Structure 1
Amino acid sequence: MTEFLALVTAVGYGTSGFLGGLAATRRHAAGVVAWSQLLGLPVLAVGIAVVPAPGVAAGDLALGAAAGLASLLGLTLMYQALAAGRMAVAAPVAGAVGATGPVIVDLAAGNGLSRPQTVGIVLAVAAILVVGAERLADLGDPVVGKALLAGAFVAAFFVALHATGEDAGLVPLLGTRAVTVPLGLLVAARNGAAGRPARSEFAPLAAIGVVDMTATVAIALALQHGPLGVSSVLASLSPAVTVVLAAVVRRERPTTRQWIGVAAAVVAVALLSL
């Protein structure tokens, strides 16, 4: 079940990242983040009502708030990078960093991995890197720089949610949204992007919020009940989804190397599910 939830997260974050990048070409990235977070709250309300939470500690809400801050910073940077028009570059860079950090934390904590899982993690990170390999060496590129920072914040988000108690259910996500919604609106206001969305913008922003919140619910449950490294790596395969969507919808042309990376990601999923 952990692997399935993490894969739901990958599809959700990959899709919301793609949609967020499109929306950020018409509205400041901070506005996209703020309004999509706000419009995704009904999904969280349903999740909290359905998932039991027999034991919630104050620390769980604090960890949720920390995860929220990391999420807000990471999303804003990610949407800015995606809006620059090179989705097939920004998404893989962020995904590779976001996947590697939690694995290091997991290993440092003394949590071992089976041989198939070890091979799967190495292959998954390699796949993410290969998908964006064309520009990985260009660290001076603003798009790559923003994607690297976004990935670091994504890693912090995973680690914070994993630290919440199993009995806390989805309640820690209240702490997450208590940070992301007001701070997101504040940042959007400072950039002149906090105004009510136009009628034509409302549906896309709501779609981003619903998909993103669904993915967040899935990864919260996966991280609470499963290993940090495996869950984070599977969830970080979202760039493969973004690359495929960019190719199909925007007619971006992924290279043969990038398609090989997508195929390697599929093999990694199979190994991590063993």
Structure 2
Amino acid sequence: MTAPRRIATFDHDGLIFDVQDTGPLDGTVVVLLHGFPQTGASWTETATLLHQRGYRTIVPDQRGYSPRARPRGRYAYRSGRLVADTVALIETLGAGPVHLVGHDWGAIAAWSTAARRPDLVRSLTTVSVPHPGAFLRAMLTSDQLVRSYYMFLFQLPWLPEFALRRLPRVLDRTLTGTGMTPDQIEQVRRDIVRGGALTGGLNWYRAMPFLHPAALRTRVTVPTTHVWSDGDTALSRRSAELAGQYVDAAYRLEVLTGVSHWVPEEAAATLAAIIDRTAREAA
């Protein structure tokens, strides 16, 4: 068996993705996928706590975020490409199936990867965003549609970029309202806005019209935990409650009280314990 090796990047689709590979080199692998508007740095505290439990964590800066992985045009950000990126990362590791974790848009990529390639996933932990089918049903049966108003605004060309780059109060008010701290907002301004990742991140939303209808019906067949927080202004409880209907394996819904959307930073210790429990039960 080949000895494990650290990776700092991986290649896919003509793109080069940056990766943070930390923790015990011989530890069980956990892949952590970030969301919008953040980079892999959002997982720092959770990853550190997982290291203390013996896990090796792999955290990529995803498509649109890594400086050498920012293709032009929204079609390059469709779901199939996001899944293919994750598959390429796992195959680059050569460590067999991994424990896959995703927050926000990273959760969508994680749900889809686990559904399409269960051979590469030992367990799945999704944070905040449910299965795409559950999300759509929640939009039709709860206040989720109202909560998701920003997704429709993000479909507009150039205007969201203009507002978020040129009108600092828009960014501050929007993110403060979701529960982000001033330090987190400054990191978004530095890494995403000034760092050149804003259009790439928005293109994940702009590629939503290309989602194949089959993705709304695909089922997950690996042990899964979905984490939802009652302070999340973007995701309804109804969406979380529906997520389990798309899992044909051991499933648990974890509800965090008094926590905003930004779970990996705000409740890192709790989230690390949940990931560990899901991984151990799937072993």
TM over 0.5: no
- Which structure has greater helix proportion? 1
Higher relative CO (CA 8 A, sep ≥ 6), structure 1 or 2? 1
TM-score calculated relative to the size of structure 2: 0.28
